[in-house]
Amino acid sequence: MPRPGEFELIARHFAPIAGPGGLDLLDDAGLLRPGRGYELVVTADALVAGVHFFPDDPPDAIGWKALAVNLSDLAAKGARPEGFVLTLALPHGWTEAWLAGFVAGLGRMAEEARCPLIGGDTVSTAGPLTLSITAFGTVPAGRMVRRAGARPGDVVLVSGSIGDGALGLKAHGPDKPGWVASLALEQRAFLADRYLHPQPRHALAEALQRHASAAMDVSDGLVGDLAKLLKASGVGAEIDLDSVPLSPAARAALMADPALAELAWTGGDDYEILCTASEREYPALIAAAEGSMLPLTPIGRVTAEAGVVTYREQGRLRSFAQGSFSHF
């Protein structure tokens, strides 16, 4: 059976997951109508096979992750997802079975987040599979949570657990280090799933709007992303690494190899929320997070000395050779 052409491919695979703003994917553009008093928040991420995911990863996981990493950015800005556009460059050997799996994962993430497809482009490439998503969200006017709002005295908090994504990459990848074998099967599966299926923290968006002074998602590593937030705000911080929340599976990995702590704190792929809130607001932020079943954990304080971050582990100063993942 011959593969479909571009327009048949769009009609067969992508039109079913498109929202009303996609205009049945028959036009040159999509249409969004922000409500009165709302502003658009826009984010984009590109993923390349062999860089952001293994080429033989399950296609549904690739589709899920492609949208999830964008929605994580919207959540950190306090934005409600409204729609996304997809640019997909398929390598010459693509199959319909692969594409159907990809769209299934993409569609499940879109449905869960109520963020429908509204347009995009599909092309062929001689290079690796490459895709880019631009996602759109809305916030009440003037309420987007920026990186640049942290102030001295604010509490630094992080959602969920840190390190699972970076450890999951090792547990899932083809060249598994020795410590992976020491984990129980369910622990390996948990870490691998955290890498393959990141969970954008949409449920925290409104609480961040109301109570956070600054926020971003943890995509390139807690240490490096905190440095970005502090630089944007012109402040420093004191961080208690013993307070950084770890999952039971991550704790088991660190017990097997204590040197993994640096990977957990700097490796990235967590897609948790890193935020700051004033002394007055942070209890309400924690309470709102608990109501959403997403814990927020205080891990330190913002200080006045711009760019200076002090990390302590078991009372001793700790430094890092590399703060985060970098493409360059």
Strands 80-91 and 130-140: antiparallel
Q: Which residues belong to the annotated binding site for Mg(2+)?
A: 28, 43, 45, 73, 121, 217, 220
Q: Which residues belong to the annotated binding site for ATP?
A: 120-121, 147, 219
Could you give the C-alpha distances from 160 to 177, 198, 215, 287, 308, in angstroms and in order?
25, 12, 15, 14, 25
List the structure tokens of 10.
């769009």
Q: Which residues belong to the annotated binding site for substrate?
A: 52, 269, 325
CA distance 255 to 223: 21
Phi then psi for 238, rounded to 5 degrees? -120, 125
Strands 117-125 and 80-91: parallel
Q: What angle in degrees, to the nearest 10, is found between the helix axes of 96-113 and 59-76?
A: 30
Instruction: State whether residue 243 is helix, strand or coil.
Output: helix
Q: Which of 110, 112, 111 shows the shortest CA–CA distance to 120?
A: 110
CA distance 165 to 169: 6
CB of 51 within 8 A of CB of 113? no
Q: Which residues belong to the annotated binding site?
A: 28, 43, 45, 52, 73, 120-121, 147, 217, 219-220, 269, 325
CA distance 217 to 187: 24
Query: For residue 201, what are the β-bridge partners?
Result: none
Q: Which of 57, 100, 69 shows the shortest CA–CA distance to 192?
A: 57
Query: For residue 44, what are the β-bridge partners?
Result: 134
Provide the residue type at 302 as one letter. Answer: V
Element (H, E) at 106: helix 96-113
Report how many helices (DSSP H) and strands (DSSP E) the chain contains, helices first: 10, 11
CB of 112 within 8 A of CB of 201? no
Count of beta carbons in the 10 Å neighbourhood of residue 112: 16
